[in-house]
Amino acid sequence: MLPRFIFCLGITFSVCALSAAEWPDVADLPERTEFPPALEMFDGTSVTTIKEWEENRKPELKELFQQYMYGYMPAAPAEINFEVQPEFSLLEGKARGFEVIINYAVDKGGETLPPLNLLVILPTNSDKPVPLFLGMNFCGNHTLLPNKEISLTNNWVYDSCGGVDHQAVEGSRGSQFNDWGIDTIINRGYGFAAFHSADLAPDVDDFSNGVHPYFFKEGQTSPDPHDWGTLAAWAWGAHRAVDYLVTHPQVRKEQIAIIGHSRLGKTALLAAAFDDRIALSIPHQAGCGGTAPNRESVGESVAIINRAFPHWFNNTFPLFSDDVNRLPFDQHELITLMAPRPVLVSNAVEDKWADPDGQFRMLQLAAPVYDLYQVEGLLDQQQPELGRLSNGRLGYYIRSGNHSMTRGDWLVFLDYADKYFGKQPAMNMD
């Protein structure tokens, strides 16, 4: 094996490489039935200070997650430009929207990757920068609102989104409106931005489309064992969206939150864990591969997810399907990469597949890192009752119902963001 490197992404796209030791093959990793302590290095050394965490353990965890699970994300592109499209009125004039076509190339003067189409929606009557939610969607930006000014995606969509043969149709405009509640978001004084995950990669396992082939070596047609999977590609796309958002004068760049549901909930946590510019993350019903433990078999297991969705991860992660105790981490340690930033893990009681109880245990195990920062981490030592938001920096919420995202969820998400971003002036849209 060759040594691998991880990269620090900066607003100016500078690259700071952290060399990493060679890691053992999966079969040579020690078995560990208990959850690994977050404040313990791979070699067993204890981490006792913020300096040791930030300079040693945090980079090590990023390396481990990329090596054995998600694959290595590329650095920021060498070239990136933003084509801002004309504005249009939304929500009866209470908001203004515009699209930003983000074009980028791996190398200066090199081939341009498929563009990312970012939809940005901002309150009309705010004269100050506003905090903003960045959301990743399954079905295309056109499904969030019915307005024809929003481009109909040309990329792959799930047929369950109202598509035909995985292509979007006009009849699907606005079909996800109640999932996102953008009118409520604007009314609460927040901005909103969104992109379609398939702008980066379709949710299929052949890696022939999207951004992946642009990073293959000459003659390569499929990912190597530690190359990035689809979740990492979607997270990398979120970083490119943030590249634009931090430049906009009406976006409060230090108050950008990211949210995703289900597989995009996994992505929301991964993206924020690897980009400190994201101030808050809400991985909603993220389950296995996101906020649920790998070392438990409640609901979806590592073996099941690797059989069903092997492309979400690198080609090394399936080697743990029947040997999860060799994983040198568990998902509480992905959560710790957020520290000391807030993260809200939200669930539904009927969504047993996502293991809501196990997700709360992951927060409990992440708490020592927040304690290291001497900030308010997990407020409830026992899982809170249905419908009550536990709003520490390690936040938790569970409601009645099933695997879905609703307007009621958004009221909770906004209440949580208000605590850390400050309550925003209402836009009085009613």
CB atoms within 10 A of CB 99: 20
**The predicted structure's pLDDT at residue 15:** 31
Burial pattern 100-125, b for ≥16 Cβ within 10 A else e, equals bebbbbbeeeeeebbebbbbbbbbee
DSSP characters for 221-255? -S--TTB--HHHHHHHHHHHHHHHHTT-TTEEEEE
C-alpha 67/C-alpha 72 separation (Å) is 7
Q: Render each residue's pLDDT in the chain as its tens digit; 430 residues.
A: 333 333 333 333 333 333 345 999 999 999 999 999 999 999 999 999 999 999 999 999 999 999 999 999 999 999 999 999 999 999 999 999 999 999 999 888 889 999 999 999 999 999 899 999 999 999 999 999 999 999 999 999 999 999 999 999 999 999 999 999 999 999 999 999 999 999 999 999 999 999 999 999 999 999 999 999 999 999 999 999 999 999 999 999 999 999 999 999 999 999 999 999 999 999 999 999 999 999 998 999 999 999 999 999 999 999 999 999 999 999 999 999 999 999 999 999 999 999 999 999 999 999 999 999 999 999 999 999 999 999 999 999 999 999 999 999 999 999 999 999 999 887 765 5
**The predicted structure's pLDDT at residue 10:** 36
Question: For the domain bounded by 79-421, which CATH number is listed?
Answer: 3.40.50.1820
C-alpha 402/C-alpha 351 separation (Å) is 5
Between CA 224 and CA 230, with CA 229 as vertex, the angle to 5 degrees is 145
pTM: 0.94
Known catalytic residues are: 262, 403
C-alpha 350/C-alpha 327 separation (Å) is 28
**The predicted structure's pLDDT at residue 4:** 33
Angle between helices 263-273 and 230-245 (to 10 degrees): 60
Distance of CA 266 to the CA centre of its chain: 6
